């Protein structure tokens, strides 16, 4: 694909309102010779010279989103804390997905008929819309099928990912639309990495959920319920902690969980239409960093079928309590 050699410039927004449509296909960026700025939305050069979008609210919170993978890699609240985590082994060279932040799993969560966690996290997304609403920046990214995706999943689709940054919250909306002439099914998740002290981190809100525990055997998850399941998950008073390797799916999870990251922050994780939740920490499989993060993921584990023209929408709201 041809590369752009000219700097990218955007129209200057008016003081009274700001809304625009820009189609930036991530893989068209060879490099950015100058920063692109607007009201609370800036497209600049990130790690590995990959284009990233920086959102800045009027109260000083910030978020970074890489167009490669449509991945939110940072969410910094006004006190300067970054509540997301990117692994030290993460690479920004398009040879593999970005390991950390909020990567997309689509159209497949986990292993299956195509590559692990699908292809959305290692494709280039486009900016199709951005605006600033009362000091809160908003950006919408788009992913469509192309030969790479069709080589493993032969369907036409559109994925829209809307990100809204406020003073103490980060919200997302994912819309999957079947643009094909035949039905398709998919599963999906936001593989959310939160900065944490693993020995002090805990999650509330999962009491009573049916569990699929992958810790004994990843290929044959052990079914159970959150009250009775112990193994490497210690459960006490509706609190789940991370004392060892953890890889557990919670089916029909509630629409709000609370993560105590063990670093002094409690994060509310609300959602609509993400039916399941996943907790993960690799423990000694990633000895260099496992103590510094936990994954608390909103997911759609069971397959969702869409007829031609139909859409599926799910939202997530992260906020600091």
* Count of other CB atoms within 10 angstroms of residue 175: 16
Helix (H, G, I), strand (E, B) or coil at 47: helix
**Cα–Cα distance list, 179 to 119, 127, 142, 147, 158 (Å):** 18, 19, 13, 15, 7
Question: Any idea which residue has 């799993």 for tokens?
Answer: 105
Give the whole-angstrom CA distance, residue 20 versus residue 1: 25
Helix (H, G, I), strand (E, B) or coil at 171: strand
Q: Is residue 35 among the annotated active site residues? A: no
User: Annotated catalytic residue: which of 219, 297, 307, 321?
Assistant: 297
Instruction: Name residue 236's beta-bridge partners.
Output: 239
Give the whole-angstrom CA distance, residue 55 versus residue 138: 8
Query: Dihedrals φ, ψ of 283, to 5°?
Result: 50, -130
- Nearest partner of 106 among 180, 162, 185, judged by Cα: 185
Give the whole-angstrom CA distance, residue 161 versus residue 5: 27
User: Annotated catalytic residue: which of 62, 191, 227, 283?
Assistant: 191
* Count of other CB atoms within 10 angstroms of residue 195: 22
> In the structure encoding, which two tokens stand for residue 239, read together?
């609190």
Alpha carbon 15 to chain centroid, angstroms: 32
Say if CB 25 and CB 148 are below 8 A apart. no
Q: What are the start-end ranges of the H helices in the chain?
A: 147-150
Q: Is residue 258 among the annotated active site residues? A: no
Give catalytic residue positions: 191, 297
């Amino acid at each position: 694909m041809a590369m752009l050699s000219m700097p990218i410039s955007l129209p200057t927004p008016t003081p009274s309102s700001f809304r625009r449509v820009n189609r930036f296909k991530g893989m068209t960026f060879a490099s950015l010779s100058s920063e692109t700025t607007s009201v609370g939305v800036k497209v600049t050069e990130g790690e590995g010279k990959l284009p990233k979008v920086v959102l800045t609210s009027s109260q000083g919170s910030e978020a970074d989103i890489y167009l490669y993978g449509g991945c939110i890699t940072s969410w910094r609240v006004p006190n300067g804390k970054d509540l997301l985590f990117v692994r030290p082994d993460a690479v920004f060279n398009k040879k593999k997905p970005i390991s950390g932040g909020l990567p997309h799993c689509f159209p497949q969560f986990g292993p299956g008929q195509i590559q692990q966690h699908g292809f959305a996290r290692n494709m280039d997304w486009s900016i199709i819309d951005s605006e600033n609403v009362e000091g809160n920046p908003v950006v919408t990214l788009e992913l469509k099928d192309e030969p790479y995706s069709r080589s493993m999943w032969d369907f036409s689709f559109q994925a829209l990912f809307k990100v809204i940054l406020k003073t103490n919250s980060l919200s997302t909306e994912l819309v999957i639309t079947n643009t094909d002439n035949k039905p398709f099914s998919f599963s999906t998740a936001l593989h959310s990495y939160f900065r944490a002290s693993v020995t002090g981190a805990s999650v509330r809100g999962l009491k009573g959920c049916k569990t699929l525990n992958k810790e004994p055997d990843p290929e044959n998850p052990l079914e159970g319920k959150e009250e009775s399941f112990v193994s490497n998950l210690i459960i006490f008073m509706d609190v789940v902690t991370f004392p060892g390797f953890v890889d557990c799916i919670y089916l029909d999870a509630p629409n709000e969980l609370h993560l105590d990251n063990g670093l002094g922050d409690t994060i509310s994780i609300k959602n609509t239409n993400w039916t399941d939740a996943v907790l993960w920490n690799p423990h000694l499989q990633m000895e260099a960093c496992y103590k510094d993060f936990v994954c608390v993921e909103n997911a759609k584990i069971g397959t969702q079928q869409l007829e031609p023209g139909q859409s599926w929408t799910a939202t997530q709201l992260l906020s600091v309590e």
